[in-house]
Structure 1
Amino acid sequence: MKILLLTAGTRGDVEPFLALARAGKERGHQIQIAIPDNSGADIANLDTVSLRMDFAQLIGDQGVSPRAAAKSFRTVMRPAMGRMLLAAVEHVVAFSPNVVVYHPKVFSAPIAAETLGVPAVIVETVPLTPTREFAAPFTSMASLGPLNRATYGVAKAGPLMFRKELKTALKMLPAGRKSRAGTRFSMVPVSPHLLPRPSDWPETTHLTGHWAARPTAADMDDELKDFMDAGDFVYAGFGSMKAGDARERGETVIEAARRNGLNILVAGGWGGMDVRHESGADVLARDSVPHHLVLPRAAAAIHHGGAGTVHAVARAGIPSVVVPFIADQPFWGNLLHRQGLAPKPMPYRRLTKDRLTAALAESAGCRDRAAQVGERLRKEDGTAVALDVLENLAGS
C-alpha cells in the first residue's frame, strides 16, 4: 500500500508522523512523508519531500505572539500557507497514494485526495471531533456543558482565512477526475490513559494511542551521563516556544530547582529559555536531549505542554509541571492535572520563582500516579493501531 503522510508545524507535529512512517515502512508499505523545512527531527532512511514552509523561521522571526502573527498575516502567513497548500496538492498528485494521512493545517490534502478518488484521514493532533464532554481545546479550559459541542466550529476557521490560497492550490488538480467525497475518517494519536475516549465520538474517529518512535541506542556523552549520576535533577524545556524574556525565565527555572534541592537540566530549544549566563555544577544546558534516555531518570519535567512532550513525560513515568504558552497547551496541562500527573498549569505570563518553586514541590506528590500511568503507556503501540486503521480503510 502507498501511504502519503503530510504534516505541518514544529518538531512536535512532525515526530509522530515520522514514527508512523517508520512503522509503516517496517510493515512493508511504501511511505512518503511531506514535512516542513528545518523541522529538526530525524528523517534518516525515510522518503521525505518538502512542504515549502519553514515554521522554525516563522517562530524565530515573530515568536509565538498572536499580535506579531496578526501584523504579518498578509505579508508572511498568507504567502507561506499558499506555498504549503500548493505543495501538498502537488505531492498528492505526484505520489498517487492509496490513502492520504494529513495534519489539520494541511487542509488542501483531503480535497486533493478525494478528487483523485482515494480516502483521506485527518490526524487530530489535538481532539477536533465534537463532544459533549469537553470544549474544543483551543477555546476554553473549562467545560461549557451543553455548549461544548458548539465550540468545535473554530476548526473551520483555517480554510476560511486562507480560502484564496486554497482555491489557487486546488487549480493544480487534474480536471475530469471523479471525486470520492463522502465520509471522512480521523485518527487521534493520544493515549486513552490520558484522555479516555468520549462516549459520543462516532466510529469514524479512532483513538489510537500516541505515535512514538521506538527507542534507539542513542549515544550519551560523558558530560550528560556524569550530570545525571551526580544527583536528583529536574528537566526543563519549552520546545519551540519563543516569547517574553528568555533569560528571566531561565533564572526562574534554575532558582525553583535549587530551592527544591534539585539539579537542573535545561533544553533551550528554539529560544524558550536562556541560561548561558548561569554556571554551577548543578546546571547543565543543551539545545536538546534524547527524551527517552533522560526523562525516566528525572524527578520531574517542567515544560510547555505540547502534545508530544506531554506523552514523552507521561511515558517516562514522571510528573509534569506545565507552563503553557499558546493554543492547546492549557488543555493538555489541565488534562494532566485532572489525571493526577501534574499540579495545576501555570501560564508563562504568571511564572514566578515562588510559584514555580511551589509547583515543583507539589509535583512530588504525583510521582506514584505518574509511575503507574507511565507503565501503561509503555505498553501501547499507537502506530500499530493506526496502521490497522489505514489498512482496513484502504481495503474497504
Structure 2
Amino acid sequence: MKEAIDSSARTTDNGRVDVNLDSRLCKTLSLLIPPEAKLDLNAAEQSTSELPPPPEYTEEGPQSIRLNIVIQVVGSRGDVQPFVALGIELQRHGHRVRLATHDTFGDFVRSSGLGFFLVGGDPAELMAYMVKNPGLMPSMKSLRAGDIQKKRRMVAEMLEGFWRSCVEPDPATHAPFVAEAIIANPPSFAHVHCAQALGVPLHLMFTMPWTSTRRFCHPLANLRGAGDSGVSQEVANYISYMAVEWMTWQGLGDVINAWRETLDLQPVPFSEGPGLAESLRIPFTYCWSPALIPKPNDWPAHIDVCGFFFRDPPSFTPDPELARFLKAGPPPIYIGFGSIVIDNPEALTNTLLEAIKSTGVRAIISRGWSKLGGNRASDEGGNVFYLGDCPHEWLFQRVSAVIHHGGAGTTACGLLNGRPTVIIPFFGDQPFWGGMVAAAGAGPAPIPQKQLNVTNLGEAIRFCLTPEASAAAQRMATQMRSENGVARAVASFHANLPMDKMRCDVLPHLAAAWTLKTERGHKPIKLSKEAAEVLLAESKVKWHHLKRYESKLIHIDLRRWDPVTASMSSLTTTTAGMVTSAADIIVKPIQALTRSTSSSSTAHTHDHDHPPSNTTSNPDAERMIYGRPAALHLPPEQKHKKNPTASHGRGSGEEHPNRAAAAVIGCASGVGSFFKQFTKGFYLDMPLAVSEGLRNAPRLYGGDVYDPGRVTDWKSGGAAAGKNFVHGLVKGLGGVVTEPVKGARREGALGAAKGTAVGLLNMGTKVSSGVLGLVAFSGQGLYLSGRSLVHRDTRKMIREAARGEGEYAAGVGRGKGLEIDRRVVIEAFDRLVRG
C-alpha cells in the first residue's frame, strides 16, 4: 500500500503534494467516489455568492444551553486570532470557553477574556518546518536533518495536551473543567479522538478547504496528468483531497494510534484514518466569505460557509513617524510577509525597492520576521517607510493596495477594506488564495516567490492601481461587510448540536452528564453535574446509581466491500501486527537497557531546565515521544500506582538493577503481543471480516445490504448475530424464488434470468454471512465487552472529573458556584420520577 501511495502522490520541493492521476491507485480511488450527480462546473461558477439563511437554532428553554466548550487550535497567530473572536461570541451566549493552543499565545488569549490551556508545540518551530516543508509532507532535506522526527514528537506532545485540555482544571483558577463540546481546526488532529473518548459533539472550523469536492482541488495539491489520464477534472479535484489525507495519515497514523491507546480507544485502521471526519459526517464550518468562494454544491448540509471571522478592531495610536509618513502624500501601498522566514531578505528588499521606484508609488514595507530593510529607516527620498508591529485592521484603511504572502487572515482584512491585493505565495494554501483573489478580479494572478522579479511585481502594482481592480475590491468589501461570520458560525455550531439529547431533564439550560434509571416503563432521567450534586446532597439519588452520559457517540467502523478484499485487509493487518510484535521481542529489551542510562541524565536536566507548568510528568512525555503508551493523567497517587518507577530512582544507583527486569518485561510484552495479534486476528478479525464482506457483497451486483445493527458489547453482538442469521436464511433461500419473479415482472424472460442469477448469488452470500456471523458477531461482542472491563481507566477518570466539577459548580459545602434553586431541582426531579 505504501508503495502504491508513493507512486501516485509525492511531495515537491515546495512541499505541496503532486498527485499523479495516471497512477493505478488514483484510478482505483476514482471508482470509490460517491455516486452523487456530477457537478456542473459552469453552473457552480454562476452560483450566487449570497449566503443562504443561517442554520436554524431555536432555544428550547428560558435560557440558551450553557456548555463547557474547548477550542483546539494549532498554527500561527493568524490561525488563533479567528478563534479568539469565535470564543468571545460563544461567551456572549453564556458558554464557558477554553482555548487550547501554544504557550506563545497565552497572553493574547487571556487578555481577550477567554480561558487558556497550554498544549505544547512551538509555532515558531512549526513555521520554520513549514518554510522548509510547505504543506504537510517533509522534503528529503528535512528527513536527513531529522526535522520529521521533531515534528512527530511535537505532534505527540500536542495530542496529549489537547486531551488534558478537555478534562483538567483551569490552570489559573483551578476551577474543574470537563468539556461538553469541542471546536477545532483540522491540523490539531486530536479533536475526533477526544470527542470519541468523552462522548461529546465535535464541530470543525477552518480557513481553507478540507472537505472533498469536485469544484476545486485541495489547496495543498498539484494535479499531474489532468486531461491526459482519462480522469475528468471534477474527479481529479475530488481525488486530490483523498491523496492528501492518505499521505497525512501515513506520516502520523502510528503516533495518533499510540496516543489513542492511552485513552483506552482501539486503533483506527489505516483504511479509515484518512477522511475520518467526512465518513463520520462531522459538522464543518468554513470561515471565509462566499463572495470569494461560494459553497460548492456537492457539500452536504452539515458543511457551512459562514464568512470570515473578524475581531473587534483594537485601539491603536500610531508612532509619530508613521503618522507623518501617511500624511505626507497619497495613500501608499503595503508590502509585508508576516512570519515568513526568507532566505535572502536583502535581495528581496532590493527587488521591492526597484519595483516601487519603477512604478512611482509610495510604500510601507513591514519588516516581519525576516527583518526586511535591515537597519534602514526610509528609502527612495522618503517614499518608503519600514514598519514594525501594527494592526492590519487600522493600517489597511489607510493604504491603496496590499501585497503579501496570502495568509487567509491578511487576505480577508485587505478585501474587507476594499484594497486590491497582490499575493506572493510561499507555501501551503497561499497559492489557492492568490488564485481566488485573481478570479474575483480584486488582484492579478499570484506571483510565486521564487518567480518574483522587478518586472512582474511592477506590473502587479500597476494592475492594483487601475479603476477595475479597485471596483472589484470594493464590490467584495460591500459583500463582506454584510456578513457576520462569527455570529453565523455560532449559529451553525448550535444548529448542529444534538440539543434534545444534550439537555438536562431537570435544568434544561445545562448539559446532561449523568443518566439515572427509573422505574420500569419510564425512560432514564438525564442529569447535569449540578443537578446531580443537589440530588445527592438531598439523598434523592445514590452515587453508584448514576451512570456517565454521552450525548454524542462516535463509532469508527471498519468498512467492508466484499469477502476477498475484506479477508486480505484483515490478513494484512494481522500479519503486520505479528511482525511488529515479533520485532518488539528483541527491540524492547534493547530499548530498556539503553534508555535507562540516558534517561537518568536527560530527566535530571529536564527537571531543572523545564519545570512543569500545566504539563504532564516527564516519563509520560517520553513514552509518547518514543511511541509507547503514556500513563493516563490521573491524580499523582493513582499515577504512581500505574507506574511505580515514574518518580523514583532517577539518576540513582537503584535504576541499574532494574535494567534486566525491564528487559525481561519488554521481551515478555512482545511475546504476549505476538500471540494476542495471532489469536485475535485469526479467530476474531478474520471471521468477522469475511462475514461482513459477504454481507456487503450484494451491493456489488445491485442487491440490498442488510444492516443487523452496530456491535458494541456482548448483548448487541448476540442480537446482530441472530438478526443476520435469520435474514440470511429467509432472504438467501427465499430469494431463489422471489428474485426471478420480481425480475420477470420488470423485464419479462430476461428479467427472470437476471433474477435467478441474483437469487443464487444472494443465497451464497447471505446464507454464508448468516452462518459465519453467528460466531463472528457474537465473538466481536464478547471481545468488546471484555475489553471494556479491562480498559476503563479513562472512563473512571472522566467520571471523577465530572463529579469534581459538579461539586464545585453546585457549591456543595463551599458556598460558591452557580445560583441554583434547590427547590426547583427537587420538584422537577420528583415530577420526572412520578412520570
- TM bin (shorter chain): over 0.9
Residue 255 of structure 2 corresponds to which residue in structure 1?
165
Cα distance per residue 1:314-350 (max 9 Å; x no partner): 1010011110000111000000000001101000001
The Cα shift of 1:275 comes to 4.1
- Counterpart of 1:79 (choices 153, 157, 167) is 153
> In the alignment, is the contact (CA less than 8 A) between 1:99 and 1:390 conserved in 2?
no
> In the alignment, is the contact (CA less than 8 A) between 1:38 and 1:56 conserved in 2?
no
Residue 200 of structure 2 corresponds to which residue in structure 1?
118
How far apart, in 1, do the equivalents of 2:343 and 2:471 lie? 34
- Secondary structure of 2:215's counterpart equals coil
> In the alignment, is the contact (CA less than 8 A) between 2:335 and 2:366 conserved in 1?
yes
> In the alignment, is the contact (CA less than 8 A) between 1:108 and 1:169 conserved in 2?
no
How far apart, in 1, do the equivalents of 2:318 and 2:357 lie? 25
Residue 240 of structure 1 corresponds to which residue in structure 2?
339
The Cα shift of 1:381 comes to 1.0
Matching of residues 30-179 of structure 1 within 5 Å: 30-39=96-105, 42-43=108-109, 44=111, 45-60=113-128, 64-66=131-133, 67=139, 69-70=142-143, 71-94=145-168, 95-140=177-222, 144-153=233-242, 154-173=244-263
Structure 2: gaps spanning 5 or more residues: 1-66, 134-138, 169-176, 227-232, 267-278, 501-835
Moved more, 351-360 or 334-343: 351-360
- Secondary structure of 2:108's counterpart equals coil
> Are 1:312 and 2:413 an aligned pair?
yes
> In the alignment, is the contact (CA less than 8 A) between 1:240 and 1:272 conserved in 2?
no
- Aligned CA distance change for structure 1 residues 146 and 218 (closer, same or farther; 3 Å): same
The Cα shift of 1:388 comes to 0.9
Structure holding more helix per residue: 2
How far apart, in 2, do the equivalents of 1:217 and 1:74 lie? 41
Look up the equivalent residue of 2:355 and give its one-letter code: A
> Are 1:27 and 2:93 an aligned pair?
yes
How far apart, in 2, do the equivalents of 1:81 and 1:133 lie? 31
> In the alignment, is the contact (CA less than 8 A) between 1:35 and 1:49 conserved in 2?
yes
The Cα shift of 1:78 comes to 1.3
> Are 1:338 and 2:420 an aligned pair?
no
- Secondary structure of 1:248's counterpart equals helix
Cα distance per residue 1:4-60 (max 9 Å; x no partner): 101111111111111111121223211100112324983212211112011113435
Residue 356 of structure 1 corresponds to which residue in structure 2?
457
How far apart, in 2, do the equivalents of 1:106 and 1:97 lie? 16
Cα distance per residue 1:267-303 (max 9 Å; x no partner): 2222273443463322222233111111122111110
The Cα shift of 1:140 comes to 3.1
Look up the equivalent residue of 1:364 and give its one-letter code: L
How far apart, in 1, do the equivalents of 2:408 and 2:107 lie? 16
Moved more, 277-286 or 233-242: 277-286
> In the alignment, is the contact (CA less than 8 A) between 2:314 and 2:391 conserved in 1?
no
How far apart, in 2, do the equivalents of 1:346 and 1:278 lie? 27
Residue 250 of structure 1 corresponds to which residue in structure 2?
349
How far apart, in 2, do the equivalents of 1:93 and 1:333 lie? 40
Residue 45 of structure 2 corresponds to which residue in structure 1?
none
How far apart, in 2, do the equivalents of 1:265 and 1:58 lie? 28
The Cα shift of 1:83 comes to 0.6
Residue 390 of structure 1 corresponds to which residue in structure 2?
493
How many residue pairs match? The answer is 391
> In the alignment, is the contact (CA less than 8 A) between 2:76 and 2:127 conserved in 1?
no
The Cα shift of 1:257 comes to 2.1
- Which of the two has higher C-alpha Rg? 2
- Aligned CA distance change for structure 1 residues 130 and 172 (closer, same or farther; 3 Å): same
Which structure carries more relative contact order (alpha carbon 8 Å, separation 6+)?
A: 1
Look up the equivalent residue of 2:461 and give its one-letter code: L
- Secondary structure of 2:163's counterpart equals helix
**TM-score normalised over the length of structure 2:** 0.45
How far apart, in 1, do the equivalents of 2:186 and 2:82 lie? 14
Look up the equivalent residue of 1:191 and give its one-letter code: S
> In the alignment, is the contact (CA less than 8 A) between 1:334 and 1:344 conserved in 2?
yes
How far apart, in 2, do the equivalents of 1:100 and 1:190 lie? 21
The Cα shift of 1:63 comes to 6.5
How far apart, in 2, do the equivalents of 1:42 and 1:273 lie? 25
Residue 284 of structure 2 corresponds to which residue in structure 1?
186
Matching of residues 202-241 of structure 1 within 5 Å: 202-231=300-329, 232-241=331-340
Which runs of 4 or more aligned residues in structure 1 lie more than 6 Å from their structure 2 counterparts after TM superposition?
A: none
- Secondary structure of 2:188's counterpart equals coil
Cα distance per residue 1:346-366 (max 9 Å; x no partner): 000011112111111111221
> In the alignment, is the contact (CA less than 8 A) between 2:106 and 2:118 conserved in 1?
no
Look up the equivalent residue of 2:449 and give its one-letter code: Y
How far apart, in 1, do the equivalents of 2:371 and 2:438 lie? 23
> In the alignment, is the contact (CA less than 8 A) between 1:89 and 1:169 conserved in 2?
no
> In the alignment, is the contact (CA less than 8 A) between 1:238 and 1:273 conserved in 2?
no
Look up the equivalent residue of 1:236 and give its one-letter code: I
How far apart, in 2, do the equivalents of 1:122 and 1:228 lie? 41
- Secondary structure of 1:8's counterpart equals coil
> In the alignment, is the contact (CA less than 8 A) between 1:5 and 1:33 conserved in 2?
yes
Look up the equivalent residue of 1:65 and give its one-letter code: K
> In the alignment, is the contact (CA less than 8 A) between 2:349 and 2:373 conserved in 1?
yes
The Cα shift of 1:182 comes to 4.4
How far apart, in 2, do the equivalents of 1:312 and 1:63 lie? 23
How far apart, in 2, do the equivalents of 1:40 and 1:347 lie? 34
Residue 265 of structure 1 corresponds to which residue in structure 2?
364
Residue 428 of structure 2 corresponds to which residue in structure 1?
327
How far apart, in 1, do the equivalents of 2:487 and 2:84 lie? 13
- Secondary structure of 1:38's counterpart equals helix
- Aligned CA distance change for structure 1 residues 379 and 215 (closer, same or farther; 3 Å): farther
- Aligned CA distance change for structure 1 residues 362 and 41 (closer, same or farther; 3 Å): farther
Moved more, 156-165 or 366-375: 156-165
> In the alignment, is the contact (CA less than 8 A) between 2:166 and 2:179 conserved in 1?
yes
How far apart, in 1, do the equivalents of 2:324 and 2:376 lie? 21
How far apart, in 1, do the equivalents of 2:287 and 2:325 lie? 33
- Counterpart of 1:282 (choices 362, 383, 389) is 383
- Counterpart of 2:295 (choices 197, 220, 226) is 197
- Aligned CA distance change for structure 1 residues 126 and 378 (closer, same or farther; 3 Å): same
Moved more, 40-49 or 51-60: 40-49
Look up the equivalent residue of 1:120 and give its one-letter code: L
The Cα shift of 1:72 comes to 3.0
Cα distance per residue 1:358-390 (max 9 Å; x no partner): 111111221111112112212221110111122
How far apart, in 2, do the equivalents of 1:257 and 1:42 lie? 35
- Aligned CA distance change for structure 1 residues 141 and 274 (closer, same or farther; 3 Å): farther
**TM-score normalised over the length of structure 1:** 0.92
Moved more, 343-352 or 81-90: 81-90
Percent of aligned pairs sharing the same letter = 28
How far apart, in 2, do the equivalents of 1:72 and 1:286 lie? 36
